[in-house]
Structure formats: C-alpha cells, structure tokens
Structure 1
C-alpha cells in the first residue's frame, strides 16, 4: 500500500470514528403483548428505520413486561387489574442502558403500550394553598398523577416520605400531612446537593399508550371488553399501528407540511399584549411559522371547524378535564375517528393527558389521546398534562429550542431550565404542582420544517374597498354587495408602527383586514379575519372578549404583497397652468384638460362633471353644494393639488349607483385638509398624503394616508372601472377591454411586447400620467405574441399608459411602470 493509500485509509477510519462519536441512541420499549404482534413490530421497525435515516441515531427496540394485567379472579364480577411490573424495574433497565459506555450515548426512550408509570402526589395546606409539610396544619387539597419525569432523571433522588390523612385518590383531604410511605413520590432532588430538581434531567421520555383510547366510553361495555380481552387488545393494536404509520409517513413524506400554526384560547376574556402568560405563545409561534392564526372565546363548533384545517401546530389554552375541553369538544367528537388534526399539539388544559385512572390501576379515555390515536392524519406529537392545574410556563424556552432541535431534545432542555427557575422560589416544592404533570406523548423526533426566508408573496384580493397607507379606523359599516347580502368589504392598512395600524371599534362591520402593524378589535364589532404582516413582538394586539370575528393571523412580513405598496399618484402637477379662480353660484361644467387655481362651489351651486381629466389647485365644495355627472360611468377624474373640502351631495340620487360610482375618481395630491365625505358620495378617492373621513354614505373605493369610517357611516364597495369613449384617453384608463384578448406583456427601455387579438395595423401610444403622448408609432402585428423594439431611454422612471388601438378601437390601455 503506497503512502497516499495509507493516508486515505487513515482519514476514512478517522471519519468513521468521528461519525460514531457524534451518533446518539434511542430505545423503544414495547409491552410484551404488543411486541408479540407481527404488525406492531413491523410498524415499529419501519418507523425506527425512517428516524435513523433522517437523524444520526441508532434505535433499539425492546420488549418489557406489561405494567397492568387482568386479575382473573374478578372477571365474573367486576374485572380489575393488578400490577405486574413496576416503574422502578423499568427505570433500572433504562438506567443500565444509559450507563453502558460501549454504545453511543442514550438520548431518550419511547414507551409504547402498557408500560409502568410512576406516580406523584401533592398536598395543599389550608392556610395559603401552597405545598404542605408535617406541622403545617390542616390540608384541603390533594392530587396524584402519573409522572414520566421520573424516567428522565438518571441520578437524582425521588422520595416517598409523606402521607395525608383523610385524602381521597384525587380530591380533597380532611386531615394533615404526616411522615410515612404509600408508594407514591412526594419530592425529587438532584444528586449534586440535594436541592430541588435543578438541571437534573439527562434524557427525554415519550409515551405512546393506546390502551385507554381503546376502551369503550360506557362502563358496562368496557366491562364486556375486558371479559373479551383479545378483542379489546385487537383495538389497541389497530390504534397503535395507526399512530406508528402516521409517524413514519411524517418522516418520509416529500410533501411539505403546512407552514401555519393555530393558537386557540377558550376563555372569553380579552387578549392583549401585556398579558404575557397568554400572548407569549403567539409571540413564539410567530417566530417558528409563516402564519399563526389566533382564535379565542372558542366554542365547540368553532373548535371542530379550525382544528381539522391545514395547520402544522396547535397550541390551546383553556380549562378542561380528561374527557373534554371547556369549549365543548370531547372524546365523543373523535368517534370513531376524525380526518385530520395538526401534527404537533401543545394542549394546556387540566388532565387532558391523564391516561390512567386516579388510583393508578387502569387506563382511561382522554381527549388528548384522541388527537393521537383517533385522527387519520396529523396527531403525531403532543405535550399535555396528566394532572389538574399548573402548566409549563417558560414555554418560550421550549419554542426557542424547537427552532434548532427535534421535539425530544427541546423538551428536556426546557425541563431543566424550568427546574432552575423554580430553585429561587421560597416554596420551591410548588414546582411539582406547577409542571410535573407535563408529559411528552407521541413522536419525540418531530421537527419544525417551516422555511421563513424563502416565501411567496400572498395573493391578496382585488376587491379592496378601503386602503389606508398609514392607520385605519372604522366604527361604521363597509359592504361589498358583490359578495352577497351579508358581504363585507376588505381593507388594507399600511402602517408599520408596532403600536397601531387598524382599529375596529363600536358596532363596526367589516370583512378582511390586511395590516402591516398592530390591531385592535373592540367590543361588539363583527369582522371576518385580520392578517397582521408582522412578527408578534413588533405589532400590538388587543381583542375584546365581545369581539365577533373568525380569526386574527400573524403572518411572516415577507409574505406581504408589495403590489399594495405602489399607488397611482401623479408625480407632477401643471401648476403653471392653474391661473383662473372660479366661483360657482348656479351651475358650472368642468372642461377636459383645463386647470383651475381655486374652485369654489357655493351652497347654491352645482358642479357638472363630464368625461375627462380636470385639474384644480384647490377645491372647496361648501355645505349644500351639488354635483352631477354628465356621462355617469364614464371616466371622470378630478385632480386636486391641495386645499380640499368636499361637503357636496349629488344633485339627484342615482338609481344606478354602481354606474355612477364606477367612473369618477377624486385624486388629492398633497397634504391638504382632511377629505371629509359628509353626505352621499359616488366615486373613488385617492388621497395618499392626507386624511380621508367618511361620515355619511359613500359608494366607491377609497385610499388615504389615514382613513376612518365613522359611527353610522356606510361604505359600499364599487370598483373604479370606468367606460371610455373612443376619442378620450385619460390618466386613469389602465383597463383592458373585456371583449378583446389584446394586452401589453412587456414594457421596458427598449421593447414593447404585446398579445394581439387579430393580425393587422396597430397604433401604439405611450402617455405620461397627465395623458400627454410621449411616444406614438404603428406596427403590423401578427395574431398572438409580438415584440417591437423602440428607444425609451430618454423617458423618466415613472408610470405610463400604453395604449393599443386597432382601427378606431382601443383594445388595451394599461398602466405600467418604467424603471
């Protein structure tokens, strides 16, 4: 062997050593009855193989004696279980493996089936409800629960030294705490100095137990199941294989999972940013997913609607018990199965994961386990509590680690952090009731797959009725009749300020809100949805308990559709042509293309608006003044430099308000006085530098720097879609005639490309924003795609209208930006 070969061989061996050193190990323990089943073992091996391929792990599958077995002497009366294997025996097996230095380090354990569980208890003293000790006097509260943290600590000390007199298995006590043993742990201390817990968990443990989920909901049928135990066991196997297959599919599937999370909150109290215990969950999820949908004051109907939608993660906060959530969703809703739930479940409700009965000698149905075993898709991993009360605060630590770790590793890091936090508390033993019931269920190898950098812009709706470049407020109603009798219109709010963007107040009625900043939903409002394109920490939130809405979403800011950052505002205004002052006492007709310095319409006057573009340095429509359209529905644009006041109303109410509103647009250029619509208005408004207020009734679409629809005001969405006479080409004619297939495809410094409906001679006109022609030429075009070279290098970067005319017919007039 030459020197090069020897070096190569050495390096290869070194790499193998490095790989082995980095590799970790996990073990799957399966109860002896399930382990004997070929389908269970094959599904477990398939799942383990997928995990080994995805991660640098070696997974061993082992059998272990069942924890609970039927007492044959009770079958003829009331069947009962008795204990066969103990938690101490299972922990000894796990610890022996953990201490085996000949193998890769043991990272964690998955417990599948009827395997032992340790139990813990907590006594609450009557004086203040805190942890009770001998000598503290009367105790009033008592809890006992399954605790899998016992298996996560390899070298700590778990003690059973207290008993309570007059205590029932899961409820109140009538006596005091005394020293003694009852087979249930009272405390947990680390091996360094005997202090409480403190950073003492070495491995993660996850549990997959379908035995409770397989039992019938009715006790008499449950007894019959036990008398036909093999049939009962067959259901356990079916549910276990279902879960193993779902977990396997998640690891091998090439189909991207959803990049959305759902946060639900059943308590009908306000959600606001200062309430950190609640909103910290939203904050963390907004850093993990591209969209976090927030729904609170949940009821059963709303819960069942949302939890089956396409979400990857669900966090739920609310009261509950082992059989149901406070919102009404119960184990019955999963009978016999449910189509889909999120893959990862973070369920913060009392007892939602309490898989064993209080006395610890039987398994029970829980709504938490239903998510795992009764769902056909999703429901792969879950964090839930096996006890009443408490929770797992500092969840931000768990979520932070989830961004770079799989669930099991993130979970054990969170558990150690939480223990350290509690060491500084005076009543440190309260840690047990606060979070020792927290348990990891399902797949510990689940990861967050969301790509928050490479995202597409959202396709926002075209029917935007109200567009505020800064902040938006509504106490009135905005209606889109095209969406049906109960259709409400959509809103854009462009403020990026953290504290405020959109406020929905009073008895407002509105559709969807798309906002760049914070949001307020006050009492008695009704809205469809509100999307906030900000991370939570950058955007304020307040949702009243009485607000009626579908959901509020925090959306990755990179998904904002930048089309809504571009506005059709004029870059120049012909001020040098605005000389004449006009005062109207009776009736005055605007002249196409003419610019007025100061236009004043008195209370007795009527302004006639024909087809065309009209310019004024300032306009005052005094209270009582009137206006009317010479050709309703045709393009009429009133360009105002500044100094604007509109207190006019139509000379006559239009029976065809849609036609009247679709052709008129008011464009206000500078920071003028607020544009106030006090009475009945037909037409759209574009006032990007000033405030726009609607006090009366308005038909059209509206853009303002700030925009407010006040109490009792009503806006009816009518899109600006004017008609144009053949001889008129105006600034605001960026429309394609529906009857033709002709359209502009490309407009740049050197080329115009377009689709022609028919072959023939086409006149191409390019106009600036004032409607003045800056280029004009003719081409013989073929039917279909055409590309024409032309020099546009001398034109300024701006918006232009490209018009395509065949004969006397303008087939397309599109506004495009030349960069």
Structure 2
C-alpha cells in the first residue's frame, strides 16, 4: 500500500513539475503591462534635460524618474547646459559625457529632453542629396550612440562625412538614444507639451492609457508589391494587423486621415514624404497630400508609429511630421523614423526584440546589429539608414498581443521542443516504475 501511494505521489509531483514548466515556457514576456517589470539586476540610465526648461517640468521629470526606477533602473539626471557657440562642439561635449557615463557606470542608454545637441552627417557621394532638408546633411543620432567608432569631418564644414571602425572600436552603437522635444513644431506652450507627454507616459506605465492591441500598415502604391513581406515583419509584434493598400482600397490623403483616427495601437506608414508633407501617388504634376498642420489637428489615437516616410523624422527641421505625431495627440508615446531619405528596413530585427519584452531603445540598438548586416547591406554604414532615430521614451515596452513569441501567433519552436522533452522524460519515468512494479 505504501509503495502504491509513493508511486502515485511521485507521478503527481512529476505532473505538477511539467505543468509549471510548460506555463513558464509558453507565457509571453509581455502579457501584462510591460513597464511594471523589475529587472533582475539594475541597469543604468541617464536623463539629460535642457536647463532652460528644467525647473518648469521638474515635477514631470521626478515622476518619470520614479516610474523608470520602479522598473528596476538606476537613473541619473543632468540639468544640461552648453553655451559653446559651435554646434559640432556641443554635440561632441554631450557625446564625451555619454562616453564617460558608459565607461564609468556602464549606462545602456539615455533620454534627451528638450533641445539637446545633435551631430549632422552629409553624403558627399550622392549628388541627388544636395537639396536643403532633403538629405544633403541630416541629423544623425547614431553619432551619440556609437561611442567607439571614428567620425571625421574631412572638409571642415561641421558636417561629419566619414564613419569608420577603429583598432579598438566598431561602427555599432554601444547605447540607445531617445529624444523628447517639441521645439520644432512651434507649440504655443512647449512646457505644457512636455508635461502632457509625461502625463500620458505615466498613464501608459500604470495601465490607464487606452490600448487596442492591434496595428495598421498603410502602404501607398510604390511599396504595394512587397506588402506581404513587410506584413511578415509586423507579425512578430501583432496578430491583429490591418493592411491598407490599393489592392483593398484607394490610398490617398483623405483615406489616410480616416485611418489615423481609427483605434489602432501601432501605425506603420509607407508614403512618399518630405519633412512637412505626406504625398500619395506623388508625381511632379499630381498627388494628394497630408501636411503637418492636419496632423497637428487630428488628435490621432495611435501610441506608436514607424514612419517609412523619407525625411519625416528630420527632427531639426521646423514642423517636421514625426514631432507633430509625437506631440499633437493625447496618446502618442514614440515614433521611429528617418531624418533623411530612407527608413527602417528588415524590421523583424526591430519587432522581434519588442515582442520578447525589450524596450524601444534596446530594440533600436539591436536592430543596428542584426546578423544580416553584411549580406544585405543593412547597418550603420548604410547611408539610407544613418538618419534613423527614435523620438519618444526609449524605455517603454510594447505588450505582445498573443501568448506566443513567433510570427503570426505560431508557438516558439524552442518552447515546444523543451515541452516535448519534459513529456518524454515523464513517460520514461512512468515506464521504469511500471517495469519495477511488474517485476
């Protein structure tokens, strides 16, 4: 009788171990609101705040600092001021401080609030880029992220034009950067714009901001043929995806405005653009357009954007589209985009880390370094990517919409393999026990 009871107890224990192991393996890392997760070991973050607005938004900064400390980060705040007359010197001064923080405190990233320095890069090899605000020179936040590469201004015009590895460093970013700055949109009250931003940031972190757990991909005609390929990338992050292209409906300015006002959590746009306008079916003589003032007055619902829209994130240009998306809404928290022609390609290397619980900033940093860099010409020395940037809080995470971490809701293969091994182990134990009982 005791022997039979022991066998039953052992089998029950093995069953409980299996169920517990499988639940741990199969639950998504971002099922709950993702910014309530405490890190296993503290990581260091630096916040830089422009000194001219520091005191006006101090309460918001303190709340934000408290929020990210609750996530397990160690946070330092700089009241940053730099009166150097030369733009490139100011950018290098900020980079020197970032490098010091990285070397001494091993920071993983930084948040830049208000007008903070930036470097500009120019493409001397592309004659078509010699157009103001169209890519000849462009803001390049990779300069602040890559702390050990060699950046050179060969012709002394205060625009970097060469980026090379060194004997001890490479081209890849060591840290991530996120900018939160309404200056370029001529907001009537920039202090209030920042206060409002951090209010909704806090609401998101505490689960009080409306979320729709879905996405829309708005693809204008030039990219229609690759719609399914791009959609495969988005499936790493969302199951509920609405695809809008001319195969389904007419893509034009009014149709896009209608889409912006729907309840989508993430909007991924593929539209010909300059820094102030989106152009649909844009040719020299025709097209329909959405401009920055329309974006400013829509109060769009999306929390996150990825703008595959040339120049839309040229954050140093007045009334750029990306900054309007970020601040002209009661909901938006972050915008991925490009400060020159180009944008994010091979987005599975951005969306897959996000789906596995990485922050926006960590995913941005990982995207630069994916394993397809050399074979597909993607990476930090690809001129069409060099202007890519993140506007908004880089420490936010996006909740994964399903319990699985593979694309299209497919179970993760490794999880299934481990579960099968556990099942096989239990069966083996049961067979051995049965054999001993029969003998």
- Whether these two folds match at TM > 0.5 is yes
Are 1:189 and 2:164 counterparts? yes
Task: Please say if 1:279 is aligned against 2:228.
Answer: yes
Deviation per CA, 1:522-557, whole angstroms, max 9, x where unpaired?
A: xxxxxxxxxxxx9399xxxxxxxxxxxxxxxxxxxx
In structure 2, distance between residues paired with 1:158 and 1:185 = 7
Q: Does the residue aligned with 2:383 lie in a helix, a strand or coil?
A: helix
Alpha-carbon deviations, 1:550-606, whole Å to 9, x = none? xxxxxxxxxxxxxxxxxxxxxxxxxxxxxxxxxxxxxxxxxxxxxxxxxxxxxxxxx
Q: CA deviation at 1:263?
A: 0.4
| 1:154 match | 147
Identify the match of residue 448 of structure 1 among 385, 398, 402: 398
Separation in 1, partners of 2:83, 2:339: 18
Judged with a 3 Å threshold, the aligned counterparts in structure 2 of structure 1 residues 424 and 302 are, in CA distance, closer, same or farther, namely closer
Partners of 2:379 and 2:349 lie apart in 1 by 21
Out of 354, 358, 365, which is 1:402 matched to? 354
Give matches, 1:198-213, under 5 Å: 200-213=172-185
CA distance 1:66–1:338, change in 2 (3 Å): farther
TM-score by structure 1 length?
Answer: 0.40
From the superposition, tell whether residues 192 and 36 of structure 1 become closer, same or farther in structure 2 (CA, over 3 Å): same
Answering whether residue 137 of structure 2 is matched by residue 144 of structure 1, we say yes
Aligned residues: CA RMSD:
3.1
1:374 has 2:328 as partner = yes
The 1:268–1:106 alpha-carbon spacing in structure 2 relative to 1, beyond 3 Å, is: closer
The equivalent of 2:96 in structure 1 is 92
Spell out the pairing of 1:268-307 with structure 2 (5 A cutoff): 270-271=224-225, 275=226, 278-297=227-246, 298-307=251-260
CA distance in 2 between counterparts of 1:190 and 1:212 reads 33
Q: For 1:334 and 1:270, how far apart are their aligned partners in 2?
A: 24
Distance in 2 of aligned mates of 1:355 and 1:142: 13
Tell me the residue number matched to 2:29.
none
Find 2:365's aligned residue among 412, 418, 429.
412
Unaligned regions of 5+ residues in structure 2, if any? Answer: 1-37, 281-288, 411-439
Quote how far apart the aligned CAs of 1:109 are: 0.4
CA–CA separation in structure 1 for the residues paired with 2:262 and 2:320: 22
**Structure-2 change in CA distance of 1:264 and 1:182 (3 Å):** same
Task: Note the C-alpha offset of 1:317.
Answer: 0.8
1:460-492: per-residue Cα shift (whole Å, max 9, x none)?
xxxxxxxxxxxxxxxxxxxxxxxxxxxxxxxxx
* Cα distance in 1, alignment partners of residues 388 and 66 from structure 2: 28
Using the TM superposition, give the Cα deviation of residue 400 of structure 1 relative to its aligned residue in structure 2, in angstroms.
1.1
Tell me the distance in 1 between the aligned counterparts of 2:88 and 2:51: 12
Matches of 2:112 and 2:312, distance apart in 1: 19
After TM superposition, the score normalised by the length of structure 2 is 0.73
Answer yes or no: is the 8 Å Cα contact 2:173–2:365 preserved in 1.
Answer: yes
Tell me how far 1:52 sits from its aligned partner.
2.1
State the distance in 2 between where 1:255 and 1:375 align: 13
Count of residues in correspondence between the two structures: 355
- Residues 268 and 296, structure 1, Cα contact 8 Å, conserved in 2: no
1:425-440 matches, cutoff 5 A: 431-440=381-390
> In the TM superposition, what are the counterparts of 1:624-773 in structure 2 within 5 Å?
none
Q: What secondary structure does 2:400 align onto?
A: coil
CA, structure 1 residues 342+246, in 2 after alignment: closer, same or farther (shift >3 Å)? same
Q: Does 1:26 align with 2:45?
A: yes
SS of residue in 1 equivalent to 2:79: strand
The answer to whether the 8 A contact 2:145-2:173 is kept is yes
Distance 1:243 1:324, change over 3 A: same
- CA distance, structure 1, for counterparts of residue 167 and residue 375 of structure 2: 14
Distance 1:117 1:84, change over 3 A: closer
Bigger Rg, which one: 1
- Paired with 1:412 and 1:290, the residues of 2 have a C-alpha distance of 24
Higher mean Cα deviation, 392-401 or 113-122?
392-401
- Change over 3 Å in CA distance of 1:114–1:66 after alignment to 2: farther
Deviation at 1:417, TM superposition (A): 2.3
| 5+ long unaligned stretches in structure 1 | 1-18, 70-81, 133-140, 162-179, 216-231, 358-363, 455-533, 538-819
Contact kept, 8 Å, 2:234 with 2:348, in 1: the verdict is no
Identify, as 1 or 2, the structure richer in strand: 1
**Does the 8 A contact of 1:315 with 1:345 survive in 2?**
yes
- Does residue 106 in structure 1 map to residue 107 in structure 2? yes
Residue 11 of structure 2 corresponds to: none
Maintained 8 Å contact 1:124/1:142 = no
For 1:244 and 1:261, how far apart are their aligned partners in 2?
23
Matched, 1:329 2:295: no
Q: 1:316 and 1:142, CA in 2 relative to 1: closer, same or farther beyond 3 A? A: closer
Q: Following superposition of structure 1 onto structure 2, how do residues 173-322 of structure 1 map, counting pairs within 5 Å?
A: 180-192=155-167, 197=171, 200-214=172-186, 235-254=189-208, 257-267=211-221, 270-271=224-225, 275=226, 278-297=227-246, 298-322=251-275
With over 3 angstroms needed to count, the CA separation of the structure-2 counterparts of 1:256 and 1:342, relative to structure 1, is closer
Whether the 8 Å contact between 2:355 and 2:400 is mirrored in structure 1 is no
Which of 1 and 2 has higher RCO (CA within 8 Å, sep 6+)?
Answer: 2
Aligned partners of 2:260 and 2:39: how far apart in 1?
42
